[in-house]
């Protein structure tokens, strides 16, 4: 695994997420975005998906996303991904993240949405 492989994976995943459902928001955060990513030291790619659903996420979208990630990860990259729907995110009662974690995401993540990417 190297940084170039990771960047290609992110770009391809972004395009495929758009094909699955253009309303899915894709965030990247962590060491790759901070530029202290060390593939040989077991760094991973950290992603966060938010579905536009309200409390009941479209099962087919999740299955399609899962299959796409498995298919695209031919270089066997270390990945960490979280799923959340917009209803839960906006409601807040069901979040298991502490407030400082949410602040971290708002300051330290980059939005990848509708096939676009910022790295």
**CATH dotted code for 3-113:** 3.30.460.10
Domain ranges of the chain: 3-113
Q: What is the pTM of this model?
A: 0.67
pLDDT of residue 84: 76
Q: Which residues contact 113 (CB under 8 A, 6 or more apart)?
A: 24, 25, 26
Question: What φ, ψ does residue 52 adopt, rounded to 5°?
Answer: -75, 0
Q: Which tokens sit at 117?
A: 């990417």
d(CA 3, CA 11): 12
Model confidence pLDDT, tens digit, residues 93-111: 655 666 676 677 667 666 5
Model confidence pLDDT, tens digit, residues 47-74: 888 888 777 777 888 888 888 888 877 7
């Amino acid at each position: 695994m190297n940084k170039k492989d990771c960047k290609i994976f992110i770009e391809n995943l972004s395009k495929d997420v758009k094909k699955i459902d253009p309303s899915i928001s894709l965030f990247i955060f962590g060491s790759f975005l901070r530029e202290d990513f060390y593939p040989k030291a077991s760094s991973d790619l950290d992603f966060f998906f938010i579905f536009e659903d309200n409390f009941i996420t479209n099962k087919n979208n999740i299955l399609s996303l899962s299959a796409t990630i498995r298919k695209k990860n031919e270089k066997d990259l270390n990945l960490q991904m979280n799923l959340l729907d917009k209803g839960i995110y906006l409601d807040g009662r069901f979040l298991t993240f502490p407030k400082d974690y949410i602040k971290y995401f708002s300051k330290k993540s980059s939005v990848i949405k509708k096939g676009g990417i910022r790295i």
